[in-house]
Chains A and B, each alone.
Chain A
Amino acid sequence: MPAPIRLRELIRTIRTARTQAEEREMIQKECAAIRSSFREEDNTYRCRNVAKLLYMHMLGYPAHFGQLECLKLIASQKFTDKRIGYLGAMLLLDERQDVHLLMTNCIKNDLNHSTQYVQGLSLCTLGCMGSSEMCRDLAGEVEKLLKTSNSYLRKKAALCAVHVIRKVPELMEMFLPATKNLLSEKNHGVLHTSVVLLTEMCERSPDMLSHFRKLVPQLVRILKNLIMSGYSPEHDVSGISDPFLQVRILRLLRILGKGDDDSSEAMNDILAQVATNTETSKNVGNAILYETVLTIMDIKSESGLRVLAINILGRFLLNNDKNIRYVALTSLLKTVQTDHNAVQRHRSTIVDCLKDLDVSIKRRAMELSFALVNGNNIRGMMKELLYFLDSCDPDFKADCASGIFLAAEKYAPSKRWHIDTVMRVLTTAGSYVRDDSVPNLIQLITNSVEMHAYTVQRLYKALLDDISQQPLVQVASWCIGEYGDLLVSGQLHCIILHT
C-alpha cells in the first residue's frame, strides 16, 4: 500500500486545477483515499491525512469526518501528531459538537506533560475554544499552572484563565490567590497577560475592582519604568519600549481610576508624562497617546489634564495619517457632551474634515459638527453643513438633512433664516428628506404667520424649477393649498436666495 501523498504535493496538485470542477474532482478523489486510510486506522499517516484535510477545509470543502481523527492525534504520544491534532481540533471542532468533550481528558493529561511545548499546545487549545464544561473540569489545572515559575507556561495560563472566566464567570474567585504576585514578574509576556487577566476580572466584578485598586501604584511604577528605561532591543518598537504592554496598563488604569478620586490622583502624573513625552511620528506612539487620552477622559482627572487630552485629539485631526484622524473624531464624539467647550476650540478643524476623502471620516465629522452647533455658531456652521449636503454621498443626505432641520429648529436666529434654510434643504436634497420631516415642516410654516406670503412664494418658485422631489412637492402643495390667496393676490416679491 503506497504512502499517502504528501501535504505540499497535494497543495501543488490542487493548485494546477484550471476550473472549479477540476478542483472538486481532485478533492473528492483525495478525500476518498483519506477516508479509507482513516477506516484502516492507520496510525503512521493519520497526521499527514488530517493536515491535508485541514487544507481542503480552508478551500471550503467539508471536513467533519476528520473530527474524531483529530482527537486520536491529540491522544497520540508523537509531538507532530499532537501539533496537527490540536490545530485540527481548533479548526474543525467547537462546543456545539458533543465530540469536543472527548478532548477533555487528553487536555488534562497534556496540561501536566513533561514537555512544556505540549503543555503549551493544550493551554492554547483550551484558551481558544474550550467550552464551559471543559473549562469547569480543567480550571484547577490552569490555576496550578498560573502559579508556576516557568514564565513560558505562566503567561499562557493567564490567558487561558481569561477564557475560563469568560466562559464560566463564577470560577473567577478561584484565580484570585494566584494573581497575588503576578505583577512582580520581570518577564514581559507574563506581565502583559497578567494585566489582561486583571482587566478581565475588574471588568466583570465590582468586588474584584475594589480589591485590585491597590495595584495602581505598582502599575504606575511599571509604566514609568517602561518610559524611562533605556533602549531594550527585545521589546522596542520604533524607539518605544513595549507599546503593547503600555497600552494594556493604560487600559487597566482607566478601569481602576474610573469614579475613584484617590486612584485617579495617583495616576495623574504618569498620564501627563506619557501624554507629553510620547513620540508622535509613528503609529505606535499615537496608539499609546490614543489610549492615554481615553483613560484621561474616563477617570476623574484634573481639568488641565483633560484639556491636554482634547488638544492631543485636536492635533490628531491635523495628522496626515487618516487612521489617526478617524480615531480622533471618534474620541471627540464621545467627549463632546462632557467637555463641550474644549472640543469647540477645534471646531474649524473638525469642519474641514467634512471635505475629507474618506467616507468614515466624513460621517464622523458630520456627527461631530452637529453636536457642536449652538446659538453662537449657527450661521457659520449651517453654511458649512449646507455646502456639505450639496456635495456629500447620497448615503449621508438623509441623516444630514435631518440633522440640519433639528439644528435649525433649536438655534434659528430668525424665522426667515429658518424658512430659508428649510427651503435650501428641500431644493438641494429634497428627495432624501425623511418622510417624518414633512409634518414638522408644515407645523413650522403654520406657526410662522408673518412668513406665510414669503414662504408660499418661494415654494412655488422652487416647484417651477424642479417638481421631481417628493417631500418638496408635498410641503409646497400643502402650502399653496393653505395660502394660495397670498400667492395669487400679493405682489410678486423679488426672491433673493439667502445663502
Chain B
Amino acid sequence: MRFMLLFSRQGKLRLQKWYTATAERDKKKMVRELMQVVLARKPKMCSFLEWRDLKIVYKRYASLYFCCAVEEQDNELITLEVIHRFVELLDKYFGSVCELDIIFNFEKAYFILDEFLMGGEIQDTSKKSVLKAIEQADLLQEVLIYCYIDQVDL
C-alpha cells in the first residue's frame, strides 16, 4: 500500500497515512485530485479505479470515504477486507464509531492504524490482538499521568 486517506463527502481530510516518501506539496496535490475523482463516482460503480499509475481501492462507510492506493501486484479484493478490518477496529475502540469520533480523536485513530498496519502491510491478523495492544498502551499513558507530576493529558 502506498497511502491511505480518510475523507468526508464534503472533501474534508480526516486522516492521511503515507507509506512512501513524498514531498508535502505533492501530497496536497494528490489528495486534492484523488478526492475529486472519488467523490465524483456514482454509487453503482465498482470500488476500484486506475488513477495516474496507481490502483485505487475505496469504500464509503456512512459519511467517510476510506481510500487506499495499492501496488500493481496487490489483491484489490483483500484490500477491501483490510479497509473493513480497520473500520471494525475503530468501531470496537470507539464503540459504534462515527465521523466525529475520528475528528476529535484523530491521534487515537492514527495510533490504531499504526498498530494494525506498518509500511502498508498488516502487522497482526487478529482483531483481538491489535485492540489489546492499543488498550495496554492507553493504560500505560493513563497510569503515567497519575505517576508523574508534570505529565498532562492532551
Partner-B contacts on A (CB < 8 A): 3, 6-8, 11-12, 15, 43-45, 47-48, 51, 54-55, 58-60, 78-80, 83-84, 87, 90, 94-96, 115, 117, 120, 123-124, 127-129, 131, 152, 155-156, 159-160, 162-163, 166, 188-189, 192-193, 196, 234-235, 237, 242-245, 247, 251, 283-284, 286-288, 290-291, 294, 322-327, 357-361
Contacts and interface: CB of A to CB of B under 8 A. Distances in A.
Contact of B121 (A95, A159, A326): A159
B151 interface: yes
B87 interface: no
Given A128-B19, A192-B125, A324-B77, A357 B44 contact: yes
B118 A323 contact: no
B47 A117 contact: no
A152 B133 contact: yes
Interface in B54-104: 73, 75-78, 80-82, 85, 103-104
6 contacts: A83-B111, A84-B107, A120-B133, A129-B21, A294-B75, A327-B76
A361 B50 CA distance: 12
Contacts of B153: 6, 48, 80
Contacts of A59: 13
Contacts of B119: 127-128, 159-160, 162-163, 166
Contacts of A131: 21
A247 B75 contact: yes
A192 B122 contact: yes
A358 B44 contact: yes
Contacts of A188: 124-126
A22 to B, nearest CB: 16
Q: Please provide the 10 A-B residue pairs with the shortest distance between their CB atoms, ordered closest to farther.
A: A189-B124, A287-B77, A7-B154, A287-B78, A322-B46, A159-B118, A244-B125, A117-B137, A127-B118, A163-B119
A189 B122 CA distance: 8
A95 B21 contact: yes
Interface of B: 13-16, 19, 21-23, 28, 44-50, 73, 75-78, 80-82, 85, 103-107, 110-111, 114-115, 118-119, 121-129, 133, 136-137, 140-141, 144-145, 148, 150-154
B141 A361 contact: no
Contacts of A96: 21, 23
B145 A235 contact: no
B154 A8 contact: yes
Nearest to A289: B77
Nearest to A49: B154
Given A79-B141, A117-B136, A193 B123 contact: yes
B40 to A, nearest CB: 11
Query: Which of A54, A117, A247 has the most B CB atoms < 10 Å from its CB?
Result: A117
A189 B131 CA distance: 13
Contacts of B19: 128
